[in-house]
Amino acid sequence: MGVLSGIRVLEFEAIGPAPFGCMLLADMGADVLRVDRAVAAGDLGPKISGKHKNVTGRGRRSITLDLKHPDSADIALELMSKADIVIEGFRPGTMEKLGIGPDAALARNPKLVYGRMTGWGQTGPLAQRAGHDLNYIALSGVLSAIGRAGEAPVPPLNLVGDYGGGGMLLALGVVAALVNVQRGGAGQVVDAAMIEGAAQLGTTIWGLVASGNWREARESNLLDGGTPWYDSYRTRDGHYMAVGAVEARFYAELLEKLGLADADLPAQHDRKGWPVLRQRFAAVFAERTRDEWCRVFDGSDACVAPVLGLSEAPEHPQNRARGSFVEYDGVVQPAPAPRFSATPSEISRPAPQRGEGGRDALRDWGFDDERIAGLLGLAVHS
């Protein structure tokens, strides 16, 4: 019984941010029914070798529908008439060509929240262009600030565009629009664009730029690795420790733990002295292993933490204590977040195979057995 229990979400199969946003809604208790293609499209997503576990597909049931079938529009609109939220991630105009765009959907269900996830947005000169996370964050301005000085910008995985600026923004948008509906407002379209979401994630940086407190050259600022006390350092065993000792009292504790409290060092904010500080920090961190440094900094406020691998993070005492990772369907994965005190989120089911659970989902959505049989007899399969 999550915070979104009773909310019906109709998701059209996509990759990246839209499924992630729907995962968040499903974790919070929404009943997410995914409309999959009848046969997997060869170019739908990147080729992944081996048995791929679709973690972001968790919490759904599935029906399959050939959207090019003559009866598909009527079927989709009938499903939309029973949904609270629709999520789609096609290029602008695709749903309209299929006869299931926002105008048609809202005519059938005036209270519907119609979420649209794209990279460039529904309008503008690039709206019809293909792209991926890296392209969107490049034009947002954010990518230019990530990386080492004198080197190419570093792709921050696909977290800034697809997931932070995409899926999370989409989930927030559709929930906000749903609150408006429940207050008596009309249904509406939520146009979530990754280029704009990525820019929003950088709002603080734009403020620093405007105030003259941010240089556009990479690795020359407080939060981009420019300062020696906000960076990562290699340890003797080839691992790294992350240092974030920004405030003066934390910086003082960092020096004490490193054995440099009485060393003749430049002042913390002496920009000309930063190369000296960086060199000294690097030399000291290289003297011990990562585990040894963890013991040194254990219980301190020096803002130093080990850089853990993806397989190591779930075993850290902090993550274990909070249950931040769970093993579900044989896969260790992040647990639902954030935490709700009265209506906790949970993973309700693993990602479905195409069409898995469709019959039960249709019944739960209010279709009687006769209508379900008709739908299944056309283009939908259980």
Say how many Å lie between the first and final Cα of the chain, rounded: 25
Separation CA 215–CA 149 (nearest Å): 12
Taking residue 81's Cβ as centre, other Cβ atoms within 10 Å add up to 15
Q: What does the DSSP 8-state code read for residue 71?
A: T
Nearest to 21 by CA among 230, 161, 240, 169: 169
Of the residues 36, 162, 191, 231, only one is catalytic, namely 162
Of the residues 71, 74, 132, 301, only one is catalytic, namely 132
Q: Where are the alpha helices (DSSP H) in 81-202?
A: 94-97, 102-108, 133-140, 169-182, 194-201
- Is residue 236 within 8 Å of 287, Cβ to Cβ? yes
Separation CA 334–CA 328 (nearest Å): 10
Task: Give 150's contacts (C-beta < 8 A, 6+ positions apart).
Answer: none
Separation CA 362–CA 182 (nearest Å): 24
Beta-strand runs (E) in 184-310: 188-193, 230-234, 240-244, 304-306
162 is catalytic: yes
Q: Cα torsion for 269, 271, 272, 276, to the nearest 10°?
A: 70
Separation CA 298–CA 293 (nearest Å): 8
Taking residue 68's Cβ as centre, other Cβ atoms within 10 Å add up to 10
Residues marked active site are found at 132, 162
